[in-house]
Structure 1
Amino acid sequence: MEDKHVIIPDFNTLFNVQVDVEQAYFAVFDGHGGVDAAIYAANHLHVNLVHQESFSQDPSEALCRAFKLTDEGFVKKASREHLRCGTTGVVTFLRGGTLYVAWLGDSQVILVRRGQVVELMKPHKPDREDEKQRIEALGGCVIWFGTWRVNGSLSVSRAIGDSEHKPYICGDADHSVFPLDGSEDYLILACDGFWDTVSPEEAVRVVSDHLQENNGDTTMVAHKLVASARDAGSSDNITVIVVFLRDPRSPPTPSAEEDEEGVVEGEGSPPLTPPETR
């Protein structure tokens, strides 16, 4: 098992951050070639995040910088200890009514709003045309070897670590920002061992069926998702985090378009229910 995950629902208390809005951090790291890179990222990335000068004003910039510093730190560790491994990573950071996402590689997060999938990101894979062009411009190649691989080796195009494959496997994270209006249901963060066999729409169906069968009780929903990936044939490591952004037994807050005045009052953060992880 080379996956690691991090759940920090009360980021402010952990780091003694004195702000008026709630902050929370969730991450999945999918290691390859060993577990060391995933462990390092799970232990260091959120610490690097809070120490960035841009953290208070620009969380997206701080997240990308934290990824870069984590990559650089692990590359040094790998050189000292003769490690040959890496990890993908996807991080979601909630600050008040805003969701920040940053990622490297093919671990992914989706947002579900009123039962519908909202795409938050595109994974870094070698067959993505922009990634293929970036790799080839550096002198590398993307070839088919069971799946599309960088230089015939790794099936992801960005990661923390993988020193021997840099600069083709780069440590530059992408990021996205999404305002939340209270109509959002939940997030699903998972590694490729889940997404390779379960589509976002199928994942939503599994969650919906579980909630209906259990009167809105979120307990064990991540276990159900893991089981669905196994049943679909996944033999890879599987890690799933489900973060409910509202109580599924309560109706969602009307969106701005549905509000009679066209405005949703207040800027408070949506309440988080405890995440389910498997």
Structure 2
Amino acid sequence: MGNFLATPITEKDTGGGEGNGLSFGLSTMQGWRTGMEDAHVALINPEGLPPGCSLFAVFDGHGGHLAADLAAERITEHLSTVMKSDVFPGGKAEGADPDKIGKAMRDAFMNLDQNIRDTFEKNYGSDQSGCTAITALVTPTHIIVANSGDSRSVMAKDGRTVEMSFDHKPINAGERTRIQNAGGLVRSNRVNGDLAVSRALGDFSYKARADLPAEQQQVSAEPDIEVQKIDKTEEFLVLACDGIWDVMSNDELCAYIRQLMNNGEADLKLIAEEILDNCLRAGSRDNMSVVIVKFPGAKLGQGGGVAKIREERARLEKAEQEASGEFGDNDETGVAGALPASKSS
């Protein structure tokens, strides 16, 4: 297929940081795709927002990388523009109404979408790219997540998995109704038989009805908002594109991260890289991006962490190669470097 490479590109773009009582790690991989269309944001105390705020986002592009790149470049500016004094009284993050923050994030998404359209029309007339968007703003008291599309956020909290977003798919009843009311149809679980998500930034060919407001177009950028009050039982928050969720469930991913932490791994960058490698082995064919945000409530155990797991994987792969060479191609005793930690308990 033209959209895939003969062998995956496994080099990673990895980073991390800490502040505001949080630490984060992230990693991205092109994988089997012919190009990298994901983009991300991870900022402690982003410019234009009050001290104490942290911003994390993943943008999963399709039809090209431009929409995702512009979204990542401009989301902070649009958030700071709409979050004026009525959102953060006195310019302070403490005491802000989370519902007002959520409404401002909704407005920022819609304004950003229009800004991307204006940029396309001015400079990239033929570009038809779009991107999903999952964005989390963490204040001293709340976590507010805005989602448009099928990238996803989950939170590990007091041993549980809490959904912080819900996928926007054309087959969902409310999404299908909006698509049909705007003159579109759902065929093969896709908008007009083509687009697999029903909400996204960009994708302006699906937003062509001049008589309808932006939120009523076949594809809308309008995000759903989820709010969670911080109560000190939070372990970690995850934001990831569907290249991760295609092969791991919410519970599986949270269990995997928790197992690595219980095994002594404190470096979130290494945990993020392990997630990508694990998903690649599990069969993901898409670009992959994951951001992990650790809260003070996360607990670390004792053990060798990711380094020990990689050492054990290398040993098993070597043993498999030796067994294959000794017993021939029909031998089926190899383990292919499988990671026990990839399974939820």
TM-score of Structure 1 vs Structure 2, range by shorter chain: 0.7 to 0.9
Aligned counterpart for 1:233 among listed residues 267, 283, 287: 283
Residue matched to 1:10: 45
Equivalences for residues 51-130 of structure 1 within 5 A:
51-52=81-82, 53=84, 55-56=87-88, 58-80=100-122, 81-82=124-125, 83-130=127-174
- In the other structure, the counterpart of 1:164 is 205
Deviation for aligned residue 1:241: 0.3
Is residue 121–residue 176 contact of structure 1 (8 Å, CA) maintained in 2?
Answer: yes
> Conserved in 1, the CA contact under 8 Å of 2:235 and 2:299?
no
**Which stretch of structure 1 is more off in the superposition, 38-47 or 240-249?**
240-249
Among candidates 41, 66, 70, match of residue 40 of structure 1: 70
Structure 2 matches for 1:117-266, cutoff 5 A?
117-144=161-188, 148-166=189-207, 167-214=217-264, 216-246=266-296, 248-249=298-299
Whether contact under 8 Å (2:265, 2:300) holds in the other structure is no
The aligned residue for residue 214 of structure 2 is: none
Contact 2:264 2:300 in 1 (8 A): no
Question: 2:25 maps to which residue?
Answer: none
How far apart, in 2, do the equivalents of 1:183 and 1:16 lie? Answer: 25
1:216–1:248 contact (8 Å) kept in structure 2: no
- Higher-Rg structure is 2
Paired AA for residue 45 in structure 2: D
Q: Structure 1: 5+ residue runs without aligned partners?
A: 252-278
Rounded to whole Å, the distance in 1 between the matches of 2:151 and 2:49 is 29
d(CA) in 1 for partners of 2:41, 2:269: 18
> Per-residue CA shift, 1:182-240, capped at 9, x if unaligned?
00100010001111111011102211221122354544111111122112110100000
CA distance in 2, matches of 1:200, 1:178: 17
Q: CA deviation at 1:28?
A: 0.2
CA distance in 2 between counterparts of 1:55 and 1:234 reads 40
Q: Unaligned regions of 5+ residues in structure 2, if any?
A: 1-35, 89-95, 208-216, 302-345
Partners in 2 of 1:222 and 1:249 — Cα distance?
A: 17
Query: Structure 1: how far apart are the matches of 2:157 and 2:169?
Result: 26
> Partners in 2 of 1:217 and 1:158 — Cα distance?
34
Identity of aligned residues (%): 32
State TM-score, norm by structure 1: 0.83
Aligned counterpart, 1:275: none
Post-superposition Cα deviations, 1:13-71, rounded to whole Å, max 9, x if no partner, equal x3373x5xx11000000011111100110011111111113542521111011100110
CA contact (8 A) 1:67 1:171 kept: yes
Kept in 2, the 8 Å contact 1:111–1:117? The answer is yes
Q: 1:162 Cα deviation (Å)?
A: 0.7
Contact 1:55/1:61 (8 A) holds in 2: no
Specify whether residues 24 and 227 from structure 1 end up closer, same or farther in structure 2 by C-alpha distance, changes over 3 A only: same
- Contact preservation (8 Å) 1:206, 1:224: no
**Alpha-carbon spacing, 1:242–1:152, altered in 2? closer, same or farther (3 Å):** same
1:10 to partner: Cα distance: 2.1
Q: Distance in 2 between matches of 1:16 and 1:156?
A: 30
TM-score by length of 2: 0.67
CA distance in 1, matches of 2:78, 2:154: 24
Write the distance in 2 (CA, Å) between the matches of 1:35 and 1:138. Answer: 26
Q: Secondary structure of 2:137's match?
A: strand
Structure 2 CA distance for partners of 1:219 and 1:30, relative to 1, 3 Å: closer
